[in-house]
Every structure is written in C-alpha cells, then in structure tokens.
Amino acid sequence: MQAKQGDDAPSVVVAKENNALKLYSLDDAAARYGLDIGMPLANARAICPQLIVFDADETADAQLMNDIADWCDRFTPLVALDPPHGLYLDITGCAHLFGGEAALSKLVCDLLTTQKFTVSAAIASTSICARTLTRHVHGRIVADGEEARAVAPLPVSALGASEAITTGLRRAGLKTIGDVASRARYEITARFGAAFTARLDQALGQGDGPINPRKPLPDYIVEKRFAEPVLTDTVIAATLSKLAQMLVAAMARDGKGARQLTACFFRTDGVVRGIVVDTGQAVTRTEIIDRLFRERLESLSDPLDPGFGFDLIRLSASRTEIVVQQQHDLDAHVHDNDELAALIDRIAARIGSHRVVVHLPQDTHIPESAELPVPAQQNLAAASQAAWQPRIEAEPPLRPLRLFERPEEIQVIAQVPDGPPARFVWRRASHAVVRAEGPERIAMEWWRPDGKGLTRDYFRVEDEAGLRFWVYRDGLYDRERDPQTNEPVQPAWFMHGLFA
Amino acid sequence: MTSARMSALASLRGSIERIEAQSGSPSLARAALGHAELDAALQGGLALGAVHEVFCEGGRQSAAATGFVAGLARRVTPRRPLIWVRQDFSEREVGRLSMSGLAELGLDPRRLVMVRASDVEDALRTTADALACDAVGAVVLEVWGETHKLDLVASRKLTLAAQGAGVTGVLLRIAASPAPSTAETRWIVRAAHSPPASPWQMWGAPLFDAELVRNRHGPLGRWIMEWKCDECLFSEFTAADSQSVAAAPAHRPHQARAQLQDRLAG
C-alpha cells in the first residue's frame, strides 16, 4: 500500500542498494514514463528529468504498516504483518459480523481508500494464495477448492519467491504459476528447493502455512461499537463497566478469572490505544475490573485522548486461569490474603507493578545483594513462604536496618591500619568512635563471574551521640592486589549502613 | 415546613454528636508497647485505627526513627501484613530498608510489602488506600524532608481512612519538623548512646531516646527505652551506671519544637 501523491509531477522514492540509488517505489505518473522498481536513479532521471525524488524511510514505513495493522484489529484479532507492504487478516469466523466476505473486503478497502491508500486485497482459504492474488488482481474472493484455477494464469513473480528463483523459472520457460504447477514436484524441488515447492502448494491451496499474528489471541473478547463516536469520560467508564460485566459472565461460564486485561480504544481517525492491567490473582468480579481500570486511566501519564471520539471499545482477557472456588466465610485468613492481593493490584494499576515489591532472600553473603525486590503481584505467595535467616537469640542486631545501595566513601583515622576506625568523616560531619566491634570479614564470591573484588572488613561502630554505623574497609593491607592493575591495594573506607 | 426543619436540625445534631464522639472518645483499641510508664501515659498503649507521627532531625537519626517505627508496627500487629510506603528519594538519602535488618529486630520480612512511590502525592494516595483496607495490619509512610503536600487536609484524610478500617498508620518523617496534623500521637526519636563501658564491650539492644511531643489523650514525656529484639517489646532501659536523663516537664510541645528547629538550623 502506498500513499497517493496528489500532484501530477512524477515522483519516486529511492533507496541505496549495493552502493547505488535505486527506485524503491513510484507513483502512477512515474510508472507511465516506463520507470520501474529497481531501476537506478540515474537511468530514471535520464528518462524523466522532472522527476521528484524522495529518500526511503523504512522505519517510518514499518511504523505506518504497524498503525494500519492496529487499525485492522477492529475486524479480527488475528492480524499479521507481511513486510514490507502487506498485511494478513485471518477472518475465519469474523466475516459474518460484517455481512459476509465480500462486504468485509469492500469495507476494509473503502475505508483505507478514503484515507488515501492504494489497496489490493484478496480473500482465499490459504494465506499464500490470497497474497499471490493481491499482486495482480484486486478484490478477488476465491471459494474453497478454486485456488489452483485462480492463481494458474498469474506470472511466477506473483509468488514472491526470490529473484534467482523467478529468473530461473522464466529461463526454464515456466512463465505462469499454472506452468510450474503442471511440472512434477520432484523436478521443481530438485531445482529450486523444498521451501519453494511448499510455497507453491500453499498458493495452489494444497496445505496452509501459518501466519504470524502480531498479538496472541486473547481468551475472551467483548466489544462495543458505537454508531456515533463517544467522547466523554462518563460514557467511556459506563461502557467499560458494561463490557466488564459481559466479560465476567463469559468467563464465569468456563469457571475462569482474568489475570491480564486489555482495553483497546479505537479512535475514529484510526489511532488505537491499548491499556493493559495485570492482576496478582484471577479476577472474577465486575467491580474489581472497573476499579482497576479507573485507577489505571486516572494515573496515565499521557491521558486517554478521544480526539474525534472512539467508535469501538474492546475489552479482552489476554490471560486467564481457572478459579478455584473458595469458601471465604469460614476462613478469615484466605479472605485477608484476597483483600491484600486486591489492594496490591489496585496500587500496581495506578503506579506500576514494578513499584510494589516484596523481597526474596538470595543465597549470597554480599550484604547489598542478599535480598531481591520482586513485583508483589506475581510473587506474593513465594515471598510468604521465603526462608529468611533467623536471628540469633540474645544477640544485638548484626545487620543494619538501613542499608545504602551504594556504599559512601568516608575518611577514616584508625589507630592501627587493620584496626577499627577511631574517627571518621561521613557527609562532611566528623564522628568520634566510642566503641567498635569487628572485623566481620566478608570475602567476595570468586566463583561467580562478576565476583572479583576486594575482601571487606566490616566494623560496627558507635559514635559519641549514640549513632550506630556499619562501616567497612575495602581490601586488606599488604595481602591483596588490585584485580585490574595488580598493584598492592590502598584500602578505602565506606559507610554501608545505619543501625537502629 | 417546621417538621422538615426540625428533622434537618435533628440530623445535623446527630452528625455533630457523631463527630464529637469520634474525636473525643478514648475508646480506641490499644496495643501495649511494653514500657510501663509509657503505656500509662498512652492510657494502655498505642491507639489502633489512628495515625501516629514519628519525626527525626536529620538523615543521621533516620535509622533510630526507623527502628522505633518498626517496633511500633510490630507491637501493633504481630502477624498481619505491613505495608511500607516510601519515596524514591528517601532511599537515596538514608538508605533502603534492609530486610535482614528488620529480621534482626524481630520482624518478619515475609509480612512486608514495600511500595516505592515516585513522589509524595502517589505515596499519600497509596497510604490512604492501604489504610482503608482492613486486611492490612499497619501502614508506614516514610517521607523525607519538608513537604507542603502533607498538610492538615492530607493528614485528616489519612486519619479518616485509618478510623474507617481500624488500620494503624505511622508516618515516618525524616529530616522534617512537626506541623499541625490530626495525628493521635507525635514523637521525636533520637538514638540514645549506650552506657559507658569498657571499649571492647559491644552495644546491646537498640536504644531510643523517644520524646512524646503530642498526645491527644494523655500527658507528654520523654523516655529512654530499649527495643528487646527477642521479646519484641519496648522496655525501660536499666543499665546500672547509665546516665539518668531528666524527664522533660509535661506539656511542653512548643518548646520542644523550637529546640528542634534550632537544631535543624544549626
């Protein structure tokens, strides 16, 4: 598909190929001069000096195709890209919603044409057959079993095989697909490879290749189309809650609950906005879905922009799981867990799921990596089973309550080089140490790939005001060498944490 | 007409009574903290379903205040989930809350859900949300520095949410000075130094110098107390040769505040 140029001057888009500028695409006016895709720009200029030339921007092209594919989501959930300029729409089971295949094809093409795209479409029972047809005829609908007859008269180039194969076939005197099909398969396979034969079979309707849809098919979809685009928040909210009711009813029939919900807002001008909400446990109630979306919509950093209005709102459950019915009234504990999970879902919907965390203990001695924050939505159950190291009875705390992610360098005066600090300066304030305990030696984990580092000697120190610190000396005097420079280390001191 | 007016008046009177009953009732459930004098001053312990504020003077005292808050949370709810809401900035200033450190104080890291809000508004909303959820045991909101977002209105919202669900909220205000609020109690917490002993003797349990500067239903005071990590309760600090700290006279909130500001300025 290409955007039409309005004026009459022939214009082309060029791209660099093998160090030469070649025509990448052209408009009708340029085609009338006899220009063709793949022709060097110099030749084209010689044929037609008044040519207007644009540079190809493949990223923008891909983006545009993506936007069109987004827009096509309103017809079927299975839309696949066929780069560079094609789209597959799997309309199995969807066509009747739009009044049949012919009506659907006409609707899609008309809507795209009004947006000034040139469209060539075909409907067939295999994707490759339809693709082959679009190369030469527009609007063809092939009935089941008629594929071979439909594609037979088309030239072999329509198959979209590589340049070498197309040329080879033409040199062998096989000009149309019908010619190729009439040869025995083993001859074709021996000459052009099994991939080409498979493609040929698919084009002839004998076996289907899978398409590669952009999005996984949601388990449940409900949608509402509007004759008149809707703009106001109240209508949108009311629609969402009505859709949520339908979705919940559909899921309840199968005993399922949603773990991930997607609301898609299709704007009349083709922009599609999808909003995803994850939940920590399967949701089976309309109010909860409602509230999650309300929180999410309120907190969007770029709010939902209705533009000229939405003409389709779709709610889908992208991930579902079977709900085990629990009897809540007799077991308060289960009820509490549910409530907590719902609270976490709400907070996560508003501020992001990575911001609500629980901690899992890690099997390491290095204090700063001993605990791993993980999203609470997915790991609540794992965290409640985690095995933390129990504290030692009748010992004062051995680990600080507040730990600096990056230890801060301090200036230390120590009586003996290996001893505890006598005085240190942290954040521009000087602290005199009145008592210290240590060292607690923590060696780096040399068996890990990133475990090379200096041994740390940790000291617990208290200053004259009663503040308690966890400081360490990075490296041992005379015994360790810098891993990079292999020089004896000059140990530095760091502040790593604060004790209560 | 008159009957309508009468009924309107009656309903207004009713709502005023309700408001007064709420604010004036000392009938809130309480959790004993373990320190006898303190519990007496608090009339039985820390009020549940209310909001309490803990201030500390600067980043250096933050760990003491955090430990005190953790202790309060542990006393309030030994088993139910604890939601800890904090700003991103606070982590950079005073370090992150360490789970092994919490475990050392006798708390269960498995019960803790941490919310890392990017700003105070998010943090406040999340806190109000969590306070309104009755499955939660306690909610801690950690805010670093002064902020005008945490005004009387915000504080009132938190209090109402806490009252509604019976969840206890604790505000940990690091490097901030007290401002008017609807909190049930307000504390200024510092680290207390260990008793003088031989230098090779190690310190004991965490020691707090906690000053109660606001108490809606009782006297004020200042105590040195110890958090017993094994029993999980606060207790009187009894070291034979500890320096006695003179208790501040009761009802001196203003002076305490002035002192605090002096320190902040200095």
A132-185 pLDDT, tens digit per residue, is: 999 888 888 988 888 888 888 998 888 888 888 989 998 988 889 998 889 888
Is B203–A435 a contact, with Cβ atoms under 8 angstroms apart?
yes
- Looking at chain B, which residue has its C-alpha nearest residue A373? B114
Contacts of B61 in chain A (CB under 8 A): 467
Say how far apart CA A469 and CA A437 lie, in whole Å: 11
Domain A11-56, architecture per CATH: 3-Layer(aba) Sandwich (3.40)
Residue among A371, A467, A499 whose CB faces B99 most closely? A371
Residue among B94, B104, B203 whose CB faces A399 most closely? B104
Residue among A400, A436, A467 whose CB faces B101 most closely? A400
A168-197: string of b/e by CB count within 10 Å (b at 16+)? bbeebebebbbbbbeeeeeebeeebeeebb
Is A427–B62 a contact, with Cβ atoms under 8 angstroms apart?
no
Q: Sign of the CA dihedral B28, B31, B37, B38?
A: negative
Q: How many CB pairs under 8 A join A and B?
A: 201
Can you read off the two tokens belonging to residue A183? Answer: 């040869």
pLDDT confidence of residue B213: 93
Residue A377 pairs with which residues in a beta bridge?
none
Say how far apart CA A283 and CA A220 lie, in whole Å: 13
With respect to residue B240, please indicate whether it lies within any of the assigned structural domains: yes
Contacts of B70 in chain A (CB under 8 A): 401, 500
Can you read off the two tokens belonging to residue B1? Answer: 């007409």
Is B100–A367 a contact, with Cβ atoms under 8 angstroms apart?
yes
> In terms of Cα–Cα distance, which of B247, B3, B84 is closest to A355?
B84
Residue pair A292/A349 in contact by the 8 Å Cβ criterion: yes
Contacts of B108 in chain A (CB under 8 A): 388
With respect to residue B39, please indicate whether it lies within any of the assigned structural domains: no
Phi and psi angles of residue A232, each rounded to the nearest 5 degrees, phi first? -85, 150
**Which helix (H) or strand (E) is A433 found in, with range?**
strand A429-442
- Looking at chain B, which residue has its C-alpha nearest residue A433? B199
**Which helix (H) or strand (E) is A288 found in, with range?**
helix A286-298
Question: How far B199 CA lies from chain A's nearest CA (Å)?
Answer: 5
| Residue B175 falls in which region: left (phi positive, over 0), alpha (psi -120 to 50) or beta | left
Is B59–A427 a contact, with Cβ atoms under 8 angstroms apart?
yes
Can you read off the two tokens belonging to residue B249? Answer: 């006279």
Is A462–B193 a contact, with Cβ atoms under 8 angstroms apart?
yes
Residue pair A432/A418 in contact by the 8 Å Cβ criterion: no
Can you read off the two tokens belonging to residue A471? Answer: 């400081």
**In the predicted model, what is the mean pLDDT of chain A?**
88
Say how far apart CA A65 and CA B266 lie, in whole Å: 64
With respect to residue B153, please indicate whether it lies within any of the assigned structural domains: yes
Residue pair B188/B166 in contact by the 8 Å Cβ criterion: no
pLDDT confidence of residue B27: 61
> In terms of Cα–Cα distance, which of A150, A40, A37 is closest to A84?
A37
A43-79 pLDDT, tens digit per residue, is: 999 998 889 999 999 899 999 999 999 999 989 989 9
Can you read off the two tokens belonging to residue A422? Answer: 């006598």
Q: Are strands B82-87 and B96-97 parallel, antiparallel or unpaired?
A: unpaired
Contacts of B99 in chain A (CB under 8 A): 359, 361, 370-371, 388
Q: Are strands A86-89 and A122-123 parallel, antiparallel or unpaired?
A: unpaired
Contacts of A499 in chain B (CB under 8 A): 63, 67, 101, 206
pLDDT confidence of residue A62: 92
Question: How far from A478 is each of A400, A417, A440, A472, CA to CA, in Å?
Answer: 29, 10, 18, 17
pLDDT confidence of residue B255: 45
Domain count, chain B: 1
Question: How far A447 CA lies from chain B's nearest CA (Å)?
Answer: 24
Domain hosting residue B225, numbered range: 51-265
Question: Going by C-beta distance under 8 Å and a sequence separation of 6 or more, which residues neighbour residue A316?
Answer: A77, A218, A219, A220, A221, A222, A247, A261, A262, A264
Is B105–A397 a contact, with Cβ atoms under 8 angstroms apart?
yes
Q: Which amino acid makes up residue A76?
A: T
Say how far apart CA B153 and CA B31 lie, in whole Å: 27
Residue among B96, B113, B114 whose CB faces A402 most closely? B96
With respect to residue B168, please indicate whether it lies within any of the assigned structural domains: yes
Is A394–B230 a contact, with Cβ atoms under 8 angstroms apart?
yes
pLDDT confidence of residue A431: 94
Can you read off the two tokens belonging to residue A36? Answer: 């063709």
Contacts of A405 in chain B (CB under 8 A): 91-92, 95-96
Residue among B68, B126, B205 whose CB faces A347 most closely? B126
Could you please report the per-residue DSSP string of B212-229?
EEEETTS--EEEEEEEET
pLDDT band at A473 (very low <50, low <70, confident <90, very high): very high
For chain B, helix, strand, coil in percent to 5 are 40, 25, 35
Is A358–B70 a contact, with Cβ atoms under 8 angstroms apart?
no
Domain of residue B231, CATH code: 3.40.50.300
- For residues A312-327, average pLDDT: 84
Tens digit of pLDDT at every position of chain B (266 positions): 578 888 899 888 888 877 766 554 546 788 899 889 999 999 888 999 999 999 998 888 999 999 999 999 999 988 899 999 998 888 888 999 999 999 999 999 999 999 999 989 999 999 999 999 988 999 999 999 888 888 999 999 999 999 988 999 999 999 998 988 999 999 999 999 888 776 666 778 899 999 999 998 889 999 999 999 888 989 988 754 444 444 444 454 444 444 444 444 43
Residue ranges with strand state E in A284-309: none
The DSSP output letter for A173 is: T
Altogether, the residues listed in chain B come to a count of 266
Can you read off the two tokens belonging to residue A423? Answer: 């005085």
* C-alpha of A377 from chain center: 19
Question: How far B136 CA lies from chain A's nearest CA (Å)?
Answer: 7
Residue pair A308/A269 in contact by the 8 Å Cβ criterion: yes
Q: Are strands A11-17 and A52-55 parallel, antiparallel or unpaired?
A: parallel
Say how far apart CA A335 and CA A71 lie, in whole Å: 42
Question: How far A87 CA lies from chain B's nearest CA (Å)?
Answer: 41
> Is this prediction's ipTM beyond 0.85?
no
For chain B, first and last CA: distance in Å?
65
Q: Sign of the CA dihedral A465, A468, A474, A475?
A: positive
Q: Which amino acid makes up residue A11?
A: S
Is A435–B201 a contact, with Cβ atoms under 8 angstroms apart?
yes
Contacts of A335 in chain B (CB under 8 A): 135
Residue among A367, A464, A466 whose CB faces B207 most closely? A466
With respect to residue B161, please indicate whether it lies within any of the assigned structural domains: yes
Residue among B101, B133, B199 whose CB faces A343 most closely? B133
Contacts of A401 in chain B (CB under 8 A): 63, 66-67, 70, 97-98, 101-102, 104-105
Residue matched to tokens 């921007």? A57
- Looking at chain A, which residue has its C-alpha nearest residue B105? A397
pLDDT confidence of residue B156: 92
A106-129 pLDDT, tens digit per residue, is: 999 999 999 888 899 999 988 889
- Looking at chain A, which residue has its C-alpha nearest residue B136? A340
Q: Are strands A402-414 and B96-97 parallel, antiparallel or unpaired?
A: antiparallel
Residue ranges with strand state E in B10-111: 30-31, 46-47, 51-56, 82-87, 96-97
Is B101–A361 a contact, with Cβ atoms under 8 angstroms apart?
no
Question: How far B192 CA lies from chain A's nearest CA (Å)?
Answer: 5
Residue among A351, A384, A465 whose CB faces B122 most closely? A351
Residue matched to tokens 């030696």? A441
Question: Going by C-beta distance under 8 Å and a sequence separation of 6 or more, which residues neighbour residue B145?
Answer: B89, B93, B174, B175, B176
Is A343–B135 a contact, with Cβ atoms under 8 angstroms apart?
yes
Say how far apart CA A346 and CA B177 lie, in whole Å: 32
Is A466–B192 a contact, with Cβ atoms under 8 angstroms apart?
yes
Q: Sign of the CA dihedral A400, A401, A404, A408?
A: negative
For chain A, first and last CA: distance in Å?
68
Is A498–B118 a contact, with Cβ atoms under 8 angstroms apart?
no
The DSSP output letter for A142 is: P
pLDDT confidence of residue A331: 55
Residue pair B130/B32 in contact by the 8 Å Cβ criterion: no
Say how far apart CA B98 and CA B109 lie, in whole Å: 9
- Looking at chain B, which residue has its C-alpha nearest residue A435? B199
pLDDT confidence of residue A476: 87
Residue matched to tokens 């009656």? B10
pLDDT confidence of residue A37: 84
Residue among B99, B108, B135 whose CB faces A339 most closely? B135
Residue among A340, A371, A434 whose CB faces B81 most closely? A340
pLDDT confidence of residue B203: 77
| Residue A145 falls in which region: left (phi positive, over 0), alpha (psi -120 to 50) or beta | left
Is A340–B201 a contact, with Cβ atoms under 8 angstroms apart?
no
Contacts of B101 in chain A (CB under 8 A): 397, 399-403, 497, 499-500
Residue B143 pairs with which residues in a beta bridge?
B173
Q: Which amino acid makes up residue A251?
A: M
A462-471 pLDDT, tens digit per residue, is: 998 899 999 9
Phi and psi angles of residue A22, each rounded to the nearest 5 degrees, phi first? -125, 155
Taking domain A220-341, whether its CATH number is 3.40.50.970 is answered by no
- Looking at chain A, which residue has its C-alpha nearest residue B202? A437
Interface probe, candidates A334, A347, A415, chain B, greatest B C-beta count within 10 A: A347
